[in-house]
Structures are given as C-alpha cells and as structure tokens.
Amino acid sequence: MRYAMAMDTRKCVGCSDCVVACQTENNVPLGYCRDWIVEAVKGTYPDTVQMHFKSERCMHCENTPCVRTCPTGASHVIEGGIVKVTHDECIGCAACIEACPYEARYVHPDGYVDKCTFCDHRLEQGLNTACVDVCPTSCLIFGDLDDPKSDVSKILKEKDWYVLAPEAGTNPQLYFLK
Amino acid sequence: MFKAIENQDLIVVVDTMPMEMTGYADVVLPESTYLERHDYSRAGKNRVPQIAFRMPAVEAKYDSKPAWWMAKELGHRLGLEKYYPWKDLEEVLDWQFKQVGSSLEEMKKIGVKTFPSTEPIYLLPGEDYEFNTNTGKIELYSTDFAEKGYDAMPKFTRHDSPDPGFYHLVYGRAPMHTFGRTQNNPYLFDLYETNNVWINPRTAKLWGIENDSDLWLKNQDGVISEFSAKARLTERIRPDSIYMVHGFGHTNKHLSRAKGRGINDIPLITKIKIDPIMGGTGMRNNFVTFLLEEPSKEEIIASANYKAEKPKEKAASKKKSEKKSEATKGHKQESHKKEEAKS
Ligand code: SF4
Ligand code: SF4
Ligand code: SF4
C-alpha cells in the first residue's frame, strides 16, 4: 500500500473548499490550516500572463526528514506511507517544521505539531479524504499507487506531472498534473 | 440614497445577515439562511430536464424564519388565509412533486430527479427554423433596432479614459465569498478577511506603493473610500486599472468580524451608464486615484455623505499563524519564488 495524491493544477479554481473542509473535518483551529492554496502567476502584462492554483498539503514523503529529526518519535510513518504526529508524544520543539521543505506543519495552539494525515480516520471507514470529497472540480485524486487500477495510478500514468522541490530528495507523494 | 431612505414611512427588511440596509429598517424580519430552510424546488429545462429538492441541512438559528413562513403569517394577519391553504412548504412541495410523478418522500431520498427530454434540443443539419425576428433569420443587422431608430449594427463607441493619475475601477468576486453576505462567516473570514487593491507593479512604482501598503481610494467625483485596504501588486491587472473584490467595507457593527474591513466599491461608483436599447447598467466606467495618507474622518464623511454616526474603525491587525497568514490564510498569493524554482 502506498497512498498518494494527484492535484490537477489546470482544473483548480482556487475556491479553497478543500481548506475549509479540512478545517472542519479535522478541527483545525481558525487561523491555521493543514492544506492551503498557492496562486502562481507568470509573465508580465501585456505578454501572456499565466496563472494557476495549487492545493498543497503534507506530501507524505517517502524519505521523511521530519520523522528523522523528531527527538521523541512523535513523528512517524504508518501503513500506506502516511506520515503522522502522535500529539501526546510531541513536545512542540518544531524541529520537524524546520526540516520539512514544504512548510506542511504548524504548531497547534495546544502546543503540539499538527499536519495533514491524509484523513486516515476516514480511509479506515472506506471514505475518501475530506478535501478530495468536497472539491467541486474534482481536481484532487487520491488512492493507492501499489494498485495499478486505482484512479491515482491511472492518472499519473496518463498525464505529465511534477513534484515540488525534487532536489530535497524527499520523494514527495503529492503529484501536480501539468 | 440616504435621503430617499429617510423619506420612507416604513422600511421592512428581510435578510439573513445584519447588512447595511437593516440599520435603516423600522422592522427587521430575520430570514434563515439557505442551509436552514426549505425552498421551492429548482426546475431546470436543460439538456436533461430535472427538478432539485432544497431542504434544510441544519436547524435554523436564533428566531430566524424562512420567507414562505413570513409570507404565510403576514397573510393570516391580513385576513388573506384563503391564499395559504397549506400548513408548510413541505406540503406544497409534496403536491408539486406529485404533479410530476414524484413525491416529497422520494425527493427526500434522491434530491434530484431527471426526466427524459420531450422535444429535441438541437437543430438537425439542414433543418428549417424560424427565429423570432422580423426576417426569421439570425439578424446581425437588426431590422427591429433600425425601425425603432437605433443603431442596427453595433457601432464601436470609445469608452471614457481616466485623467492622469486615475485608474479604471474594476470589481469582481473571490471564489470563497458570495456577494456581500458571507464576509462575517468565521471560516470564510479566516480565508479571506479583507479585499486588496490589485495594482500593476509598474503603476505601483510610479506611486511608490509596495505590497501591503495601506491606501484609500478617491473617485473622479471626489468620493473617498470609508476604509482602507492593502495594495496587492500583481501582473493580473492592467497598468491603467485597479481591481477589488466586491462585498467588503461593511459598516454594520453587528457584522462583528467584517465591519471596517476593506474597501466598498459601491460608494465609489457614482457614474452609471445606461444602455439606450435594453436598459442594462454599466458601472465599470468609474475612475479612482490613490490616497496614501489617511484622510481625516470629516473629509471622508463630507466626500460621500456617509452616515456620520458610524465611526471610522481601524482594522485591527490580528496576526495569525506564522507563514500561512500573508495576505489570506490558506491562500498564499503569487509565490513567484517557489514557481521559478520548479518550472
Ligand atoms: S511534506 Fe514535510 S511534513 Fe510531510 S512528510 Fe514531507 S517532510 Fe514530512
Ligand atoms: S487529506 Fe485530510 S488532513 Fe490532509 S489536507 Fe486533505 S482533508 Fe486535510
Ligand atoms: S477544492 Fe478543489 S478547486 Fe477548490 S481550491 Fe481546493 S483543489 Fe482547488
């Protein structure tokens, strides 16, 4: 099992539904977020100005600097490659935040570090992640890369994609479709 | 407008939120939001004809009521019971659904019901068809307009150009907000708490405006915006124009979060053009210039006859989560740096 998410940058309209769905599903306090939207603009007016949105979150990397730097073992990897933080074991030192190249983690006001869990509590019930479920343009595709028939495997085979900061060597599992 | 309002004998406002207008009302009838009430069903005569049921997702808060309830209760008090021979909207909907072979019970389960198309929706190749025009054809040259003395062919008329130092005021929407009514929602406020003034970097340079500079706007008729907004430098706007998301700059104190946040485009729209043929209104023909220094309260009020008793409030800058709080949390804007590294 290898969970991964593909994100179609050409379809995303930047509505931020995925952000609010995650906040409400996972009790993320107002002012914080586990997923966020990046608006990227290229070009200079009046030449072709291009823009696209990306919905970003923890990339559930295969090689995890965040887990390696965690002094207490609170950051760990579970079945399917999901990177999690055990809240009671986290001392809030934020070493993982420094180590993560994607700014995917934040310090919860209650003192521990929090981040995207790929909604593992929903996956257990056979549901999709909250962000995937609400996206009105269906631009988030989630599934198991070890299963060649999963939607995410199929779309990554069909389409061109890129990952963020490949030079960091983290082998991130959030793929952006071109 | 304020004069017109003050001349009314009675103003009754039905709204879901304490908007500007409710402040002038003699009677406010608070309406439940669309997620808290039954509404008449949506019927679409689209490619696939369908009806859609609209039911409450949550219970109505406070003592807000749906509009159908207000109409019925008012009807009863006016002695017009006979026009409301039903208990509630569910009863009405059930009757309506039964006319098309469904029922409230079924619609509660399925939500949307589709029906087969009874007439073809496209013309077949070569099929004869008469359009509803004098000639029965698609008229590029409108004989109807010609008869009535209008331009039969659309003629280009040059739009007005701004004076030096002024810019086209363009307004529009953000995907997370709906008109002016969602700015106070805690989640949506968290996402997008104020509008910004989009300025092309070349224009900004002439003025010495930087990203996040506070500014006020003044239009061609001297009207000054009641509040300020921060500049957002972006190539997404032309150098001769500025852009703002509509729906901000609320003044009702009951909008606990949204009050005083951002610039309201409406008072800055003092010039309205009317299409001589179909009466449509064009409002994007106003111009604004920047005020980099905070204007005095008196100056602002005098400029537009704003309500004087509404004190000007400075948007308290509440710092949020470290990095995700740039312009709007959860919505990082234009990370050029990040992009260039990749593409
Ligand atoms: S994105 Fe950051 S937090 Fe998530 S697994 Fe990779 S390094 Fe760790
Ligand atoms: S997968 Fe779940 S936790 Fe992660 S961003 Fe989506 S909704 Fe939030
Ligand atoms: S919900 Fe979908 S379309 Fe909306 S911002 Fe998120 S990824 Fe983009």
- Which value does ipTM take for this structure? 0.90
**Torsional sign, CA B252, B253, B258, B261:** positive
CATH number, residue B215 = 2.40.40.20
3-state secondary structure of B44: strand
Separation between Cα atoms, residue A66 and residue B33, nearest integer Å: 44
Instruction: State whether B134 and B261 are in the same domain.
Output: no
Question: What is the distance of C-alpha B319 from the center of its chain?
Answer: 28
Whether pLDDT at A73 is above 70: yes
CATH number, residue A152 = 3.30.70.20
Domain count, chain A: 1
Q: Give the pLDDT confidence of B16-30 residue by residue, as tens digits.
A: 999 988 989 999 999
Separation between Cα atoms, residue B206 and residue B132, nearest integer Å: 53
3-state secondary structure of B71: helix
Which among B162, B181, B158 has a CA at the least distance from the CA of B170?
B162
B323 lies in a domain? no
Separation between Cα atoms, residue B135 and residue B258, nearest integer Å: 54
A40 closest CB neighbour out of B186, B237, B339: B339
Whether pLDDT at B77 is above 90: yes
Q: Is B291 on the interface with A (CB under 8 A)?
A: no
Cβ–Cβ < 8 Å for A171, A62: yes
Instruction: State whether B110 and B131 are in the same domain.
Output: no
Q: Give the pLDDT confidence of B95-125 residue by residue, as tens digits.
A: 999 999 999 999 999 999 999 988 888 888 8
For ligand 3, say whether the CB of A9 is within 6 Å of any of its atoms.
no
B324 lies in a domain? no
- pLDDT for B124: 86
Chain A residues whose CB is inside 8 A of the B335 CB are 38-40
- pLDDT for B340: 33
Question: What is the domain extent for residue A118?
Answer: 3-177
Which range among A86-95, B260-269, B270-279 shows the weakest confidence by mean pLDDT?
Answer: B270-279
Share of chain B above pLDDT 70, in %: 89
Chain A residues whose CB is inside 8 A of the B329 CB are 31-33, 36
- pLDDT for B10: 96
Which among B51, B32, B46, B44 has a CA at the least distance from the CA of B108?
B51
Name the phi and psi angles at B199, rounded to 5. -135, 140
B213 lies in a domain? yes
Q: How far is A14 from chain B (nearest CA, A)?
A: 7
Which among B296, B284, B338, B50 has a CA at the least distance from the CA of B168?
B284
Which range among A101-115, B74-88, B201-215, B271-285 shows the weakest confidence by mean pLDDT?
Answer: B271-285
CATH number, residue B51 = 3.30.2070.10
Instruction: State whether B174 and B280 are in the same domain.
Output: yes
- pLDDT for B317: 38
Instruction: State whether B36 and B96 are in the same domain.
Output: yes
B109 lies in a domain? yes
Ligand 2, atom 6, lies closest to the CA of A131
Question: What is the domain extent for residue B150?
Answer: 127-156
Separation between Cα atoms, residue B107 and residue B109, nearest integer Å: 5
- pLDDT for B339: 36
Whether pLDDT at B2 is above 80: no
Q: Give the pLDDT confidence of A24-52 residue by residue, as tens digits.
A: 999 999 999 999 999 999 999 998 899 99
Instruction: State whether B259 and B192 are in the same domain.
Output: yes
Domain count, chain B: 3
Instruction: State whether B138 and B102 are in the same domain.
Output: no
- pLDDT for B324: 41
Kindly give the number of the ligand 3 atom that is closest to the alpha carbon of A21: 1
B310 lies in a domain? no
Instruction: State whether B281 and B171 are in the same domain.
Output: yes
Chain A residues whose CB is inside 8 A of the B200 CB are 45
Share of chain A residues as helix, strand and coil, in percent rounded to the nearest 5: 25, 25, 50
Contact across the interface for B330 and A36, Cβ inside 8 Å: yes
CB pairs under 8 A between A and B: 89
Q: Is B238 on the interface with A (CB under 8 A)?
A: yes
Tokens linked to B136: 């029965």
Separation between Cα atoms, residue A170 and residue A67, nearest integer Å: 11
Query: Nearest ligand to the C-alpha of residue A52?
Result: 3
Compute the average pLDDT of residues B122-131.
Answer: 88
Compute the average pLDDT of residues A89-98.
Answer: 96
- pLDDT for B119: 80
Whether pLDDT at B330 is above 90: no
Contact across the interface for A30 and B186, Cβ inside 8 Å: yes
Cβ–Cβ < 8 Å for A31, B329: yes
- pLDDT for B246: 96
Q: Give the pLDDT confidence of B28-65 residue by residue, as tens digits.
A: 999 999 999 999 999 988 889 999 999 999 999 999 99
Cβ–Cβ < 8 Å for A65, A99: yes
Kindly give the number of the ligand 3 atom that is closest to the alpha carbon of A11: 3
B329 lies in a domain? no
Half-sphere exposure of residue B12: CA atoms within 13 angstroms, side-chain side: 5
Instruction: State whether B175 and B300 are in the same domain.
Output: yes
- Under the banding of pLDDT at 50, 70 and 90, the label for residue B334 is very low
Compute the average pLDDT of residues A9-16.
Answer: 96
Instruction: State whether B98 and B191 are in the same domain.
Output: no
